[in-house]
Structure 1
């Protein structure tokens, strides 16, 4: 694969990485994710497979990921499943962005970031704070 192909190419809906992503592919998955958030925090990464900024943010997020067992990661392909993104915006009151991460706890969006603001470090801070409050 060429340099540009490796940076911008590929149309895989789900990333292959060290993150054990759970794909959001229908509205039932969204409801299950929200219900799970009452047990522990979940994060959804909203990704556009046609956007180079989204691809770079995703790769950096995957590279930095070290939260296995602390927060459940969900993945949403925005181009394939735009109605789910719309439902997230409506249900959680978070304005749609791409790329975007949203942390959900107890059925509520408690953190979101987009574009260059996406980073695992902020999630680590959130998970640490969450652990202190639940102790």
Structure 2
């Protein structure tokens, strides 16, 4: 799992990977902490492109993603991208290793 902080970094990642998962995470929210643990567990068990951002540190990027991809901002929020487009997202208690794996393997 790699942290991403800027729109330029994220755009480069979208261009580099045909599919990737991004987790929007809050460093102050207990629900986000649980989602982060689930996302980490999933990422450790899979091969692929897995990234996260902390909304407090990367608010402009978080806002850019919500606006550009027309996905209402939530935190925590897992977003799956394929070929540069959002194909799935989930938030709060729906961010589980099982759900992430199921969606990842569909692509």
Instruction: Give your verdict on TM over 0.5.
Output: yes
Instruction: Report the number of matched residues.
Output: 106
Per-residue displacement from partner, 1:85-109 (whole Å, max 9, x unpaired)? Answer: 0011111111100000000001100
Partner of 1:25: 5
Cα distance in 2, alignment partners of residues 60 and 32 from structure 1: 25
Structure number, greater radius of gyration: 1
Name the structure where strand makes up a greater proportion of residues. 2
TM-score normalised by structure 1 residue count: 0.72
1:57 and 2:56 aligned: no
Unmatched 5+ stretches in structure 2: none
| Deviation >4 Å, runs of 4+ | none
Q: Highest relative contact order (Cα 8 Å, sep 6+), 1 or 2? A: 2
CA RMSD, 1 decimal:
1.4
1:110 and 2:87 aligned: yes
Would the aligned equivalents of 1:36 and 1:42 in 2 still touch at CA under 8 Å?
A: no
Partner of 1:34: 14
1:88 and 2:77 aligned: no
Cα distance in 1, alignment partners of residues 96 and 16 from structure 2: 22
TM-score normalised by structure 2 residue count: 0.89
Unmatched 5+ stretches in structure 1: 1-20, 131-135
